[in-house]
Amino acid sequence: MKQRGLLFTLVVIMLLPFSSSTFGNAALSKVFVFLNVENFVGIELRMSNDSYSYIFADLGVNYVSFGLRLSSKQTQGLYISPGFYLPYKSNLNLFLSVGYDFRISGINYVTFSLEAGGKDLLDKPKSFINFAIYLPF
């Protein structure tokens, strides 16, 4: 089970950058380097059709994850994020979080994120709080 989950996650991460041509002309793929409390440091790939919601895949020091961040113009940075994550020493599992993306004037192109939620939803649910900094690559 553990190897199938890892294989599935790696396939999603490899296909994500090329999915913009599949999902339409307006789709956009971006790569970010992130620093955060949960996963320390890593790379995030994002694919979106608008500037609010997107599909993402994270490859970091502690785990690999992929999912959605759903937001809208009306929520102005607030999002809900369901997804899957695979800790390197465990099985594929689910997470659900709510977060807020923001920028600070004077710091160009850098996005900050504060999120909280639950992980290990298929086993013993645990809560988490995460602060992240995303730098475009």
User: d(Cα 67, Cα 70) in Å, to the nearest integer?
Assistant: 10
Q: What is the CA radius of gyration of the chain?
A: 15
* Contact status, residue 30 vs residue 51, Cβ threshold 8 Å: no
What pLDDT, in 10s, does the model give residues 20-30? 455 555 678 89
- The token pair at 3 is 């190897």
Distances (CA, A) of 29 to 6, 59, 65: 23, 16, 17
Per-residue pLDDT of the chain (137 residues; tens, 9 = 90+): 556 666 666 666 666 555 545 555 567 889 999 999 999 999 999 999 888 899 999 999 999 999 999 999 899 899 999 999 999 888 899 999 999 999 999 998 899 999 999 999 999 999 999 999 999 98
pTM higher than the cut 0.75 = yes
